[in-house]
Structure 1
Amino acid sequence: MDRYLHIVCLDVPCPANCGGSIDMMNRIKSFHKKGIKIHLHYFRFDEKCHNAELGRYCETVQSYAKKDALDCLSLSTPAFVNARCNQSLIENLNKDNHPVLLEGLHTTGIINEIKKEGRKICVRMHNEESVHYRELARSTINPAKKTFYLAESLLTKKYTSTLPSDCMYACVCREDQSSFEEQGFEDVQLVPAFPSWQEVSCPKGMGSLCLFHGNLSVPENEKAALWLLSNVFNKVRIPFIIAGKNPPKTVQKAAGLCQNTCLVSNPSESEMEDLVQKAHINILPGFHKNITGSRLKLVHALYRGRHCITTPAVVEGTGLEEACHIGTTAGALASIISQLYYLPFEEEEIQLRKRLLGNRYDNNKNIQLFIDYLW
């Protein structure tokens, strides 16, 4: 008998060019590989958001417009949730009794409107959003943004406590799982992120550069890029590349002033893969006091790159500490770069990564955790 599933994505999952979309798109592919018939619903930024590739994996694809910013303001619900409360979506979900996977806290504003008799509902928690917004507030110096992020953090904490207990909540990391269990949720499962990489394929020997990559329009990644340019890259005379989506003018200007540094704006998926493999060092510092959600940049670097340098918060609780070189200060990171740049990447480190990554990020195994609950 055919099995059908509604998946509600907070944004269009394709192209998979950031952590959240990579996680969602690979989950869609994994369900499809298991023979699940998918009715996909997603929220779009504009009318041009539809991607033809989604039709390869889904029986139906339906998009919905997000509400305007002013229509999302509320004293009881975060704006990112309010933006996705959509009556047409509720009606489409209630036309049948297929199980529902809600991607992100963002899509849960309709959860109590979904017909529940005899059907399972699972919420994929991408982050502990109250922590995420609090850290965004710490990362910005813009007073208006800081106030908005703090308000969203407080509203999120209040809103999360109102979610129903008769659903499965699938968290991406152990810290998030513990947080939701402490809030009283009963069925909280740890289901790691779904990466695009399933086999460790790191080039041995010597690479030719040091790489920092990420979505540069995200405040934390912008801050990390500027910090590296000002405090680390200017201390070591080797080639550096900063690569990522939508670099702001602050990063463009700083990179232009830094010798031995090149900025690669909006690389394609294949271009980014090429950069990760050509790099001798992938450097991925994090500055949030509390990091929540997936660390897919780190996972990418470990599956495909050579030496990986990071800071303690990025690897905390991941079980991947052994595969990384960890520094806490600019001087420490510069020193590690200087040492590693002339050290070949060897087979024993590849075997270590296979041991640490293989079972944890097995998409075929992890999709079964969803299937066992939903059917």
Structure 2
Amino acid sequence: MQQHLHIVCLDVPWPADYGGVIDMMNRIRAFHRLGVKVHLHYFSYNERGVPRELNIFCESVHVYERRKKTECLNLSLPYIVSSRINEALKEQLAKDNYPVLLEGLHCTGIIPFIEQMDRRICVRMHNNEEIYYKELARASSDLFKKLYYKTESRLIKKYVPTLPKNILLACVSETDVDFFREQGFDQAFLLPTFPSWQKVNSLEGMGTHCLFHGNLSVAENEEAALWLLSKVFNKVRVPFIIAGKDPGRPLQKAAALCQHTCLISNPSESEINDLVQKAHINVLPCFNKNITGIRLKLLHSLFSGRHCVTTPSMVTGTGLESACHIGNNSNAIASIISQLYYKPFEEDEIRLRKSLVETSFNNDRNTSQLIQRLW
């Protein structure tokens, strides 16, 4: 019997140019490869348009407008949720009884309108949003953004316990699984993130530079890049590249003042891949005090790069600790970089990575397991 599935995405999943979208798009591709007919629904904003490429992988595509803050006066719901409760979406989902995969807590406001006794509903929890927004508030220097993030975090904390306890929650880390099970969601389970890389293609030998990459418009990534410039690469005089999407003025100014640093704004996917693979060290600090989710840039570095240097909060609970060099502070990170910069990357390290990531993050295998839960 033909399997049909509704997938509701918080954003348009193409182009796949940031972590959450990469995870969503690779899942859609995997369902398509395995013969599932995907009926895609997504919210269009940020001027990302209506890409025709999605028709290759989807049986049908439906686009909805996300509501503006002025239209969402319900102070009991987080804005990320209330802005995606849509009448046209309700009507589309009511036309049949296919299982529904909701991408992110953002899309769960629709649940009371589609919940039926024999309908399977699964929510892909990209991370623990309460913690994620709390950390965004901590990292942000913009007072208005800080207030918004704090408010969202508080509202999310109140909202999550109101979700039906019998829905499936597909979490990206064991830490998040444990959290949601403690909240009473007995059907929370681990569904690893879906990277674009399925085989380790790291190169042996010596690379040419140190690299930090990420979406530089996100507060935690800007914070990490500025910290590296001011606390680490002022001690270690080696070539350092910062690459990513939409760097702000503070980062542009800081990078310009550091003679051995190059800032690459809005690199293409192929440029990022090239930078990661040619780097001798991928440096990926994270300062979140509370840990949630997993960062795709970490997986990118482990699938394609050489040495990877990071901080504990980037890898705790991922099972990837043994493939990374971990430092607790700027002096430790600087010392590790100084030692590794002249150390060739060797075959035994590649073998370790293959054993850690190629099975755990196999998209087709993980999609097959999700299919068994949905039908």
Q: TM-score range by the shorter chain?
A: over 0.9
TM-score normalised to structure 1 length: 0.98
Distance in structure 2 (CA, Å) of the matches to 1:105 and 1:41: 15
Query: Given the superposition, is the C-alpha separation of residues 275 and 44 from structure 1 closer, same or farther in structure 2, using an over 3 Å criterion?
Result: same
Question: Quick one: distance in 2 between partners of 1:374 and 1:95?
Answer: 18
The one-character-per-residue Cα deviations of 1:140-172 (angstroms, maximum 9, x if unpaired) are 233322222111111101110110122111111
Question: How far off is 1:115 after superposition?
Answer: 4.8
Letter in 2 for 1:365: R
TM-score normalised to structure 2 length: 0.98
**Cα deviation per residue 1:315-341 (whole Å; 9 max; x = unaligned)?**
101111111001111111111111111
Structure 1 residues 254 and 46, CA gap change in structure 2 (3 angstroms) = closer
Moved more, 223-232 or 38-47: 38-47
TM alignment of 1:100-249, pairs within 5 A: 100-249=100-249
C-alpha distance in 1 between matches for 2:180 and 2:118: 25
For residues 329 and 123 of structure 1, the distance between their equivalents in structure 2, rounded to whole angstroms, comes to: 36
Name the structure 2 match of 1:42. 42
Shift of 1:64: 0.7
Amino acid in the other structure paired with 2:277: Q
1:291 aligned partner: 291
Name the CA distance, whole Å, in 1 between partners of 2:369 and 2:169: 12
**1:36 is aligned with what amino acid?**
V
Q: How does 1:1-375 map to 2 (within 5 A)?
A: 1-45=1-45, 49-375=49-375
SS of the residue aligned with 2:276? helix
**Quick one: which amino acid aligns to residue 61 of structure 2?**
V
Amino acid at match of 2:161: S
CA–CA distance in structure 2, aligned partners of residues 104 and 10 of structure 1: 7
Mapped to 2, the partners of 1:194 and 1:69 lie a distance apart of: 31
Q: Deviations over 1:334-356 (max 9, x none)?
A: 11111111100000000000111
Aligned residue for 1:116, secondary structure, equals coil
The secondary structure found in structure 2 opposite 1:88 is helix
Provide the rounded CA distance (Å) in 1 between the counterparts of 2:189 and 2:5.
19
What is the deviation of 1:48?
Answer: 5.2
Unaligned runs of 5+ in 2: none
Rounded to whole Å, the distance in 1 between the matches of 2:46 and 2:322 is 43
Aligned equivalents of 1:332 and 1:47: distance in 2?
Answer: 42
Query: Following the alignment from structure 2 to structure 1, what is the Cα–Cα distance between the partners of residues 112 and 124?
Result: 16
- After superposition, what is the alpha-carbon deviation per residue over 1:71-108, rounded to whole angstroms, capped at 9, x for unaligned? 23432100111111101001001111111000000000
Give the superposed CA RMSD: 1.1
Q: Report the Cα offset of residue 186 of structure 1.
A: 1.5
Q: Give the Cα–Cα distance (whole angstroms) in 1 for the partners of residues 221 and 352 of structure 2.
A: 28
Task: Provide the rounded CA distance (Å) in 2 between the counterparts of 1:153 and 1:206.
Answer: 44
Whole-Å separation in 1 of the counterparts to 2:326 and 2:115: 49
Gaps of 5+ in 1: none
Hey, what's the Cα distance between the residues in 2 that align with 1:189 and 1:364? 17
Give the secondary-structure state (helix, strand or coil) at the position aligned to 2:162.
coil
Change in Cα spacing, 1:260 to 1:46, as seen in structure 2 (3 Å) is closer
Q: 161-170 vs 38-47, which deviates more?
A: 38-47
Q: In percent, how many aligned pairs have the same letter?
A: 60
Moved more, 141-150 or 214-223: 141-150
The amino acid across from 2:131 in the alignment is: V
Query: What amino acid is aligned across from residue 160 of structure 2 in structure 1?
Result: T
Cα distance between partner residues in 1 of 2:115 and 2:337: 55
Separation of aligned partners in 2, 1:100 and 1:268: 33
Alignment length (residue pairs): 375
Instruction: Give the drift of 1:39.
Output: 0.5
What CA deviation, in whole Å up to 9, does each residue of 1:185-238 have, x standing for no partner?
A: 121111110111111110110000000000000000000011111111121111
Q: Read off the aligned partner of 2:338 and give its amino acid letter.
A: S
Q: Is 2:12–2:48's contact at 8 Å kept on the other side of the alignment?
A: no
Deviates more, 1:134-143 or 1:156-165: 134-143
- Confirm or deny: 8 A CA contact 1:234 1:259 kept in the other structure: no
State the distance in 1 between where 2:129 and 2:73 align. Answer: 17
| Partners of 2:187 and 2:15 in 1: CA distance | 31
CA distance in 1, matches of 2:94, 2:115: 6
- CA gap of 1:48–1:124, structure 2 versus 1, over 3 A, is closer
